[in-house]
Amino acid sequence: MKLEAIECRSLDPGPWLVNDYLEDDEVISFIANLIQANCRTLRCLTIGQESQILRTVYKDPDSRSQDEGGVLQALASKMLLLNLSSLALLALNVHPAQAGSLSRSVELSCLRKLTLESCPGSAEFIQQLAATMPTDNSAEQTLLALSEFSFRYEAPEQTLIAALETFLVRINPLVHLSVLLDSTRTMPQVGRFIQKHGTTLKCLVWEGRIGQGSGQTPDSLGDIWDEDSEISAVLRHCPQLKELGVPLDWHTFCPVSDCLSSSLPTTIAYGA
């Protein structure tokens, strides 16, 4: 049997670590061998530590430093080049120095959907991806041709926010974009990249939370009624938008929502 999709979500309370005495532990070896056995047909891969995300968000924000990215190291050691269309990494260390270059394991030019959730080393990884893209609006073909990008991170430093903003400025126009940052008072500036993605964007989720797992939100999109606000820019530049998920004050928005009915997407998700 040749698989086209594999999901490996560990519910074990411990992180996936490289054993000091063995090349890989049993879990890592099993996953790497499973991927290797299906490498010719595999198109969608989800791999990670859901329990690690729960600890990071709700219990121990520093626990993610324990993950050494062993499963990605093991995958790189197999000398495979996967032709994936979708890749989702959950709480795995994606720092190039730890996981090795993912471009050695994944044919980035085939990738159409990329998801990174609570992955240590995200800033460095995103910087590496952005470096492969042109710095202007030229028609030069890029190595990465995503149509969907989803990103989540807890307590981001300014270097990550800057890297994420640069990445979104340089990446080709997206159809689906989802960004959720926990424990932050700042977000990347929507105005810097929304015009580029506006003609193609059909789904946008954009949320920053002041507290981990809380409903408190930073002033990431500005006053909805301000013509110069970033949410106004979203409505103005995204005529194809069908789904929008942003933190809004329900009591402020509802009484006058009809005034914007001609500009609003078909579906709106209210975050607050």
Q: Which CATH number is 33's domain given?
A: 3.80.10
Condensed to tens digits (0 to 9), the pLDDT of residues 34-48 reads 999 999 999 999 998
Does residue 30 surpass a pLDDT of 70? yes
Please compute the mean of the pLDDT values over residues 16-37 and round it to a whole number: 71
Looking at the structure of the chain, the number of domains it has is 1
Predicted confidence (pLDDT) at residue 228 exceeds the cutoff of 60: no
| Dihedral (CA of 27, 119, 85, 113) sign | positive
Instruction: List all residues 6 or more positions away from 59 whose beta carbon is below 8 Å from its beta carbon.
Output: none
- Confidence at 23, pLDDT banded by 50, 70, 90: very low
**Higher-confidence residue: 23 or 146?**
146
- pLDDT, mean of residues 188-197: 88
Question: pTM, whole model, 2 decimals?
Answer: 0.83
For residue 88, the model assigns a pLDDT of: 96
Neighbours of 124 (CB within 10 A): 16
Q: What is the mean pLDDT of the chain?
A: 78
Whole-Å CA distances, 236 to 25, 93, 230, 255: 52, 37, 10, 21
**The predicted structure's pLDDT at residue 53:** 72
In 3D, which of 101, 92, 105 has the Cα closest to residue 27? 92
Inform me whether the pLDDT recorded for 231 exceeds 70. yes
**Cβ neighbours of residue 109 closer than 8 Å, sequence gap 6 or more:** 143, 144, 145
CB 143 within 8 A of CB 111: no
Instruction: Identify the domain containing residue 24 by its residue range.
Output: 5-9+18-133+140-270
| Alpha-helical segments (H) within 38-157 | 50-54, 70-77, 96-99, 122-130
pLDDT at 224 over 50: no
Q: Give the DSSP letter of residue 6.
A: E
H or E element at residue 89: strand 86-90
Q: Sorting pLDDT into bands at 50, 70 and 90, what band is 156?
A: very high
What is the pLDDT at residue 259? 45
Position 240 pLDDT exceeds 50: yes
Q: CA-CA distances (angstroms) from residue 10 to 54, 70, 271?
A: 12, 14, 29
As a whole-number percent, the residues of the chain with pLDDT over 70 amount to 68
Distance of CA 223 to the CA centre of its chain: 26
Alpha-carbon 24 to chain mean position: 27
H helices of 68-121, where? 70-77, 96-99
Residue 244 confidence class, pLDDT cut points 50, 70, 90: confident
Tokens 């047909």, located at residue? 41
* Cβ neighbours, 10 Å, residue 250: 11
Check residue 252 and give its pLDDT. 53
Residue 249's pLDDT band, with cuts at 50, 70 and 90, is low
Which pair of structure tokens corresponds to residue 199? 């003609």
Judge whether 91 and 52 are in contact, CB under 8 Å: yes
- The larger pLDDT score, comparing residue 31 to residue 52, is at 31
